[in-house]
Amino acid sequence: MTLSAIQISVVIPLYNEDESLPELSEWIARVMLENGYSYEVLFVDDGSKDRSWDVIKELSANDPHIRGFRFVRNYGKTAALQTAFQAARGDVVITMDADLQDSPDEIPELYNMIAVDKFDLISGWKKKRYDPITKTVPTKIFNAATRSISGVSLHDFNCGLKAYRKDVVKNITIYGEMHRYIPVIAKWNGFAKIGEKVVQHRARKYGHTKFGLERFIFGFLDLLSIAFVNKFGRRPMHLFGSLGTLMFFLGSVIAFWLLGRKIYNIYHLLPYRNVTDNPLFFLALVAIMVGSQLFLAGFLGELFVKQSVSKTGDYNVSERVGA
């Protein structure tokens, strides 16, 4: 099997899932064989404390389709996905969780939606879930907030079962806990043909969930970070410069108004007090100072962005022609 002949890369991040891996790999192999796909399976062990890595090595020794990556410690699901995305060689990349709650039987339809229907990304939607209410209710709130802020109309951003065109995973970078927002990042990077597919959600067979309620708090903060970077990451002066100019202008207007009123009262022999005796003057002074600092921050940000782009040229080029 040549590298260019690989149709599907199945990416599976995992943490302490040694019991489910043999059954999952066998299930994937059966689906691939039945459909005649050329494929590879990329297991990424995110610093497991159980026998997960030993199981992966055993599976890889018996199946040339299986590749494994092991982190020295637990970095998180986002790091695992980013590592696998860079190593994936398939034309279509499909991600799924290792706990058997995602069904490999979904792979053929997901593949066809990317390869035949020409979607950039297909996100799974676990319409019927086997989770406690303490997880389903926060998930619905989280998804609603993400739809509202991002403009991406998906029901289940956090579903681990997704399919991507190869160009998508090779042209995006994720970090922190941003795996939940890959559809958002993809759209903001120009991959706008995003679809959704209702997928089966199976009850957990082995082990227990590795995520708590804190993921929704961190997830919301990551969403704000992504929204900010997308809108102002390449033009920081638009934000900091605008705010700085506004604050500097308001502070200056107040200061000159106070000074003008004093001069007016002196000229007309009216009672007056020193400008510095008025608390409003110090508020104006603070506004002028903060405005100047914000403008300077925007200016420095513009210099940094210009230098970064000139060195990396990190814009997505969809096609090339000629030598």
Tens digits of residue pLDDT in 184-203 = 889 988 899 999 999 988 77
* Closest alpha carbon to 21 in 50, 47, 59: 59
**pLDDT, one tens digit for every residue, the chain (323 residues):** 444 589 999 999 999 999 999 999 999 999 999 999 999 999 999 999 999 999 999 999 999 999 999 999 999 899 999 999 999 999 999 999 999 999 999 999 999 999 999 999 999 998 887 666 666 677 788 888 888 877 888 988 889 999 999 999 999 888 877 888 899 889 988 899 999 999 988 776 666 665 555 666 666 777 777 777 767 766 778 788 888 999 999 999 999 999 998 898 888 888 888 888 888 889 999 999 999 998 888 888 777 766 655 554 554 544 544 44
Specify if 80 maps to a domain.
yes
pLDDT for res 306: 65
pLDDT for res 202: 77
**Which of 231, 254, 280 finishes a domain?**
231
* Closest alpha carbon to 9 in 202, 124, 165: 165
pLDDT for res 269: 83
CATH number of the CATH domain containing 222: 3.90.550.10
Tens of pLDDT along 272-319? 888 888 888 899 999 999 999 988 888 887 777 666 555 545 545 445
The answer to whether residues 164 and 240 belong to one domain is no
Residue 298 CA to chain centroid, in angstroms? 25
The answer to whether residues 61 and 201 belong to one domain is yes
pLDDT for res 320: 47
**Which of 231, 246, 280 finishes a domain?**
231
Pairing of strands 92-95, 66-70: unpaired
> What is the domain extent for residue 298?
236-312
pLDDT for res 312: 47
Q: Which residues contact 203 (CB under 8 A, 6 or more apart)?
A: 101, 130
pLDDT for res 240: 84
The answer to whether residues 157 and 246 belong to one domain is no
The answer to whether residues 148 and 30 belong to one domain is yes
Query: Are 56 and 66 contacting, i.e. CB atoms less than 8 angstroms apart?
Result: yes
Pairing of strands 121-125, 162-165: antiparallel
The answer to whether residues 133 and 269 belong to one domain is no
Specify if 215 maps to a domain.
yes
Query: Are 19 and 104 contacting, i.e. CB atoms less than 8 angstroms apart?
Result: no
Specify if 321 maps to a domain.
no
The answer to whether residues 203 and 140 belong to one domain is yes
pLDDT for res 298: 82
Specify if 322 maps to a domain.
no
The answer to whether residues 220 and 175 belong to one domain is yes
* Closest alpha carbon to 10 in 76, 77, 88, 119: 88
Q: Indicate the number of domains in the chain.
A: 2
**Which of 196, 231, 266 finishes a domain?**
231
pLDDT for res 249: 94
Question: Which two three-digit tokens encode residue 184?
Answer: 């958002």
The answer to whether residues 14 and 147 belong to one domain is yes
Q: What sign for the dihedral angle of Cα 87, 91, 97, 100? A: negative
The answer to whether residues 135 and 276 belong to one domain is no
> What is the spatial distance between Cα 54 and Cα 69, in angstroms, rounded to a whole number?
12
Residue the block writes with tokens 């064989």:
33
Phi, psi of 67 (to 5 degrees): -120, 150
The answer to whether residues 191 and 264 belong to one domain is no
Specify if 29 maps to a domain.
yes
